[in-house]
């Protein structure tokens, strides 16, 4: 039996914890809300994040990080990107005392503004400076709501060590979630992070009443932007035609389960960003990652007009219609740039 500490008792953390317990592993779920932990332990549900859902009764929730980590073979991070660095520091202090070196799996999808770093780069900063092989990224089209219902899902596990990705594949897989391995953790993380920005744009278009052609154009040109940034970061171009690239872009830009899409929709209907984020009550990663993407575009002179337009609307008070007009009137050019 594998002992797994899942960090983050929100929607995705709870569903992954339950799935791993279904797979027969011992799971400790670490959260920061007492009422959520109590409900998980007493009623085996998490109604704040997952309505009408019962989780595996063997999942134990705790607010004590040391308790969650004790004896763990794997630490699965399912926190918002904004919390990764601070929790990683706390994890480091606890692991230093025990001397253990569990695998670090990240299911978090975002880029940290300021540092402009992916989650595995934060792990290197804070936890394992010399061993990227122990880090595995879990990413793909996977809304918690669907996995909770045991709907069919396919997800990528990426690591610089294909052997370690394959070990995780055996631990995570079951009859309703199929995992594939990849040796491109950078490309997989960029796909998972930047699709959230494009999904906000997709929601905005829908909220403003634009149709299917606009959605398809946005997703296709959005994928070109994701690929451009991913390759600049050292990712492999073909990764973006996989589950963590086009796959996740499709699900996030077309599903009402997507918080990023829903946030975009409400913005497209004229609501204010602060209200949208406050009412969501859950993380909208694209709203943060777009800041990092903006910084990256500046630093590396990358051409990412859709992501930049979202940044202008969210943080510079730009009008969505004017941004669309600017984008449609940009200098014309070839579709494929090599
Ligand atoms: N929900 C999904 O369907 C889904 C699917 C795939 C990936 N993801 C990714 O997983 C990550 C988490 O998403 P989610 O949907 O579970 O978010 P969520 O908003 O549902 O839950 C996040 C949880 O983290 C907790 N948290 C925040 N800061 C913390 C801290 N410092 N210490 C401990 N807990 C803390 C919050 O209280 C909350 O319970 C995001 O990066 C998201 O993009 C989500
Ligand atoms: O609800 P979202 O927009 O955060 O998307 C969740 C997952 O990333 C979908 O794969």
Give the CA count within 13 Å in the CB-facing half-sphere of 250. Answer: 10
Give domain limits for the chain. Answer: 3-185, 191-328
Backbone angles phi, psi at 43, to 5 degrees: -115, -5
Q: For the chain, give the longest Cα–Cα distance.
A: 60
Q: Ligand 1: does its nearest atom lie under 6 Å from the Cβ of 268?
A: no
Pairing of strands 153-158, 135-139: antiparallel
Task: Indicate the top mutation candidate among 12, 50, 109 to test ligand 2's pocket, ranked by most ligand atoms within 8 A of CB.
Answer: 109
Nearest atom in ligand 2 to the alpha carbon of residue 260 is 3
At what angle are helices 11-22 and 162-172 packed, to 10 degrees? 80
CATH number of 3-185: 3.40.50.720
- 195 in active site: yes
Q: What is the pLDDT of residues 162-214, one digit of tens each?
A: 999 999 999 999 999 999 999 999 999 999 999 999 999 999 999 999 999 99
Percent of the chain exceeding pLDDT 90 equals 99
Residue-level pLDDT at 1: 86
Residue-level pLDDT at 146: 98
* Annotated active-site residue in 117, 167, 195, 291: 195
Other CB atoms within 10 A of residue 337 CB: 8
Residue-level pLDDT at 77: 99
CATH architecture, domain 191-328 = Orthogonal Bundle (1.10)
The token pair at 298 is: 């500046």
pTM of the entire predicted model: 0.98
Nearest atom in ligand 2 to the alpha carbon of residue 285 is 4
DSSP-H helix ranges across 29-161: 34-43, 65-69, 81-98, 119-126, 144-148
The residue whose C-alpha atom lies closest to atom 1 belonging to ligand 2 is 258
Nearest atom in ligand 2 to the alpha carbon of residue 262 is 3
Residue-level pLDDT at 121: 98
Tell me if domain 3-185 and domain 191-328 are identical in fold: no
Q: Which residues of 210-244 are buried (b: 16+ CB within 10 A; e: fewer)?
A: beeebbeebbebbbebbbbbbbebebeeebbebbb
Q: Is-contact 7 78, C-beta < 8 A?
A: yes
Residue-level pLDDT at 145: 98
How far from each other are the two terminal CA atoms of the chain, in whole angstroms?
48
Residue reference for tokens 């500490």: 5
Residue 338 has pLDDT above 80, yes or no: no
Average pLDDT, the chain: 98
Q: Ligand 2: does its nearest atom lie under 6 Å from the Cβ of 109?
A: yes
Residue-level pLDDT at 337: 83
Q: What is the CA radius of gyration of the chain?
A: 19
**Burial class of residue 96, CB neighbours in 10 A (0-12, 13-18, 19+):** exposed
Q: What is the pLDDT of residues 215-273, one digit of tens each?
A: 999 999 999 999 999 999 999 999 999 999 999 999 999 999 999 999 999 999 999 99
Query: Chain centroid to CA 197: how far?
Result: 11
Residue-level pLDDT at 253: 98
Cα dihedral across residues 154, 217, 272, 226: positive or negative: positive
Q: What is the pLDDT of residues 63-100, one digit of tens each?
A: 999 999 999 999 999 999 999 999 999 999 999 999 99
């Amino acid at each position: 039996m594998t002992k797994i500490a899942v960090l983050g008792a929100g929607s995705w953390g709870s569903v992954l914890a339950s799935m791993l317990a279904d797979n027969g592993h011992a799971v400790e779920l670490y959260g920061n809300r007492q009422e959520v932990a109590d409900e998980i332990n007493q009623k085996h549900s998490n109604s704040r994040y997952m309505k009408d859902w019962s989780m595996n009764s063997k999942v134990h929730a705790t607010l004590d990080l040391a308790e969650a980590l004790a004896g763990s073979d794997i630490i699965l991070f399912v926190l918002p990107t904004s919390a990764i660095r601070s929790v990683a520091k706390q994890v480091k202090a606890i692991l230093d005392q025990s001397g253990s070196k569990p695998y670090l799996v990240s299911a978090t999808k975002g880029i940290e503004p300021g540092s402009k770093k992916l989650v595995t780069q934060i792990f290197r900063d804070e936890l394992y400076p010399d061993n990227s092989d122990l880090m595995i990224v879990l990413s793909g089209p996977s809304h918690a709501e669907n996995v909770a219902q045991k709907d069919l899902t396919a997800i990528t596990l990426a690591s610089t060590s294909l052997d370690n990705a394959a070990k995780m594949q055996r631990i995570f897989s079951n009859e309703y979630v199929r995992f594939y391995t990849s040796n491109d953790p950078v490309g997989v993380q960029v796909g998972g992070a930047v699709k959230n920005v494009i999904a906000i744009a997709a929601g905005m278009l829908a909220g403003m009443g634009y149709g299917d052609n606009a959605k398809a154009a946005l997703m296709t040109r959005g994928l070109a932007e994701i690929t451009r940034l991913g390759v600049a970061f050292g990712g492999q171009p073909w990764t973006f035609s996989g589950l963590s690239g086009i796959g996740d872009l499709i699900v996030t830009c077309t599903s009402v389960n997507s918080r990023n899409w829903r946030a975009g929709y409400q913005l497209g209907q004229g609501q204010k960003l602060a209200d949208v984020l406050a009412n969501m009550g859950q993380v909208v990663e694209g709203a943060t990652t777009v800041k990092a993407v903006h910084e990256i575009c500046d630093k590396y002179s990358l051409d990412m007009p859709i992501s930049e337009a979202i940044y202008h609307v969210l943080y510079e008070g730009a009008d969505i219609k004017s941004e669309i007009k600017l984008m449609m009137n940009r200098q014309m050019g070839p579709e494929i740039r090599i």
